[in-house]
Amino acid sequence: MIPCLGYHSAAVHLGERMLRVFVVMLIFFAGMFAGWIIRGVDTMPVENASPARLLPEKEAIPRNIHTLYAEGSLQEVLELSRGDIALILELIGPATSTRARTLLQIHMATYGESLYGLIRLAMMETKYGNYDSAIVMMEKADLLTITQEEEKFFFIRLHEISDAYERSLLAVENYGMLDEFYERITFAMPEQAHFFLKLALLRIRLGNYEAALAPLSQIENHPKFGEKARELIAQTEVDDLVGSLEVLPLKSNGNQFVVEAVIDGSYSINLLIDTGAAMTVLDESVLQAMGYNLVGQRQEFYSTANGVVEAPVVSIQQLALGDASMGPLSVGALSLSLPGNIDGLLGMNFLRHYEFHIDQDRRELHLKSER
């Protein structure tokens, strides 16, 4: 009986081992089959793969604000700026294009006007010759200046605009509009004392001494410009004008005439009569020979045959044509290089104080005081 039981037990153990081997092999082949299936799916073309197995796309990156600006998407630029005017100014840089102007305009219309935005827009308007619009912008900007740094920046830009406008008006000799321009600034920005002086100097340059008194009186006690204002107030006294009739001989110079004049009672010069010149002009060499210092003198713009130039203004003690004299008188100091020993131009800031007539046949200048 014992041998039979041993045989049966061995058979049972052999069957269990074979079953375990079968299960292991079944698992192995099932794994290989599953791997083949997976590899087959991974190597399928994307267009044939199931959408459910594709990875989701990444979120689109917002377009760069410079790109949007270049494309003209100004509304999107406006939204991305979130009211930051510094960002807008950096974005447009020195550009004066319609796109840059429009972006600045809609930005300030949306988020409110700012000092630097207004000044930048004013400079753009100046570039296009829109001086009235530029001054409107600067008048608004003036109300927004707070710190000394802002005031200094505003002052520099205001003078850049005014100089550009002055040049354009002098080029066409539109002195009336220039007078209105300066007067407008003095009304809108009375703290800009320099423009009271510029207005007075323009009127003196045109010989309109009485009108020059008004702006000068506003700054005669100014810490910086008061001394100059008081000097010019004294210069507006025209009591030295002589009321006698003068008949002066003339020399011809082409189609123009030359008259002899005397500076400061001692220095004789030849002046070409130029009724189109607002201010009398002397060659700088004449003034230097008389001992006048041209360095550090105030500068003015002059319209010449070579365009608008900047040169010093000197106050001489007296200018006389025979017994007709006046002084002190502001004259421009330019390098003229005129032919025929001509030392300068006799302008209207002298002539307008007289009734004058040029007798071309007799070659005579007739002067009669208006007073």
pLDDT for the residue 16: 53
The predicted-structure confidence for 216-251, as pLDDT tens digits, reads as follows 989 988 999 998 888 888 766 544 444 446 788 998
Q: Tell me, what's the pLDDT at 118?
A: 96
Distance CA 50, CA 322 (A): 110
Q: Lowest-confidence range among 61-65, 79-83, 179-183, 322-326?
A: 61-65
Q: With beta carbons less than 8 A apart as the criterion, state whether 250 and 257 touch.
A: yes
Query: Is the predicted pLDDT of residue 278 greater than 50, yes or no?
Result: yes
User: Which two tokens mark 340?
Assistant: 């025929």
Q: Which residues pair with 315 in a beta bridge?
A: 330
pLDDT, tens only, 190-209: 999 999 999 998 888 777 87
Question: Among residues 256, 311, 305, which one has the least CA distance to residue 281?
Answer: 311
Q: How many CB atoms lie within 10 A of CB 260?
A: 16
| DSSP secondary structure code for residue 94 in this structure | T
Strands 344-346 and 354-359: unpaired
- With bands split at pLDDT 50, 70 and 90, how would you rate the model's confidence at 186? very high
Backbone angles phi, psi at 17, to 5 degrees: -65, -40
CA pair distance 167, 123, nearest whole angstrom: 16
| pLDDT for 209 | 79
Q: Is the pLDDT of residue 110 over 90?
A: yes
Q: Which residues contact 166 (CB under 8 A, 6 or more apart)?
A: 178, 181, 301
Of 299, 291, 302, 298, the residue nearest 344 (C-alpha): 302
Alpha-carbon span 89 to 153, nearest angstrom: 15
CB 238 within 8 A of CB 369: no
Burial degree of 203 (CB within 10 A; 0-12, 13-18, 19+): buried
Residue type, 357: H
Work out the pLDDT band at 26, boundaries 50, 70, 90.
Answer: low
Torsion angle, CA of 324/325/330/332, rounded to 10 degrees? Answer: 60
Which domains occur in the chain, in start order? 65-235 (1.25.40), 246-369 (2.40.70.10)
Task: Give the span between the Cα atoms of 330 and 298, in whole angstroms.
Answer: 11
**C-alpha closest to that of 156 among 131, 190, 205, 119:** 119
Gap between the Cα atoms of 269 and 282, Å rounded: 9
53-57, 297-301, 321-325: the lowest-pLDDT one = 53-57
Would you say residue 4 has pLDDT above 60? no
- Residue 111 CA to residue 107 CA, distance in Å, equals 6
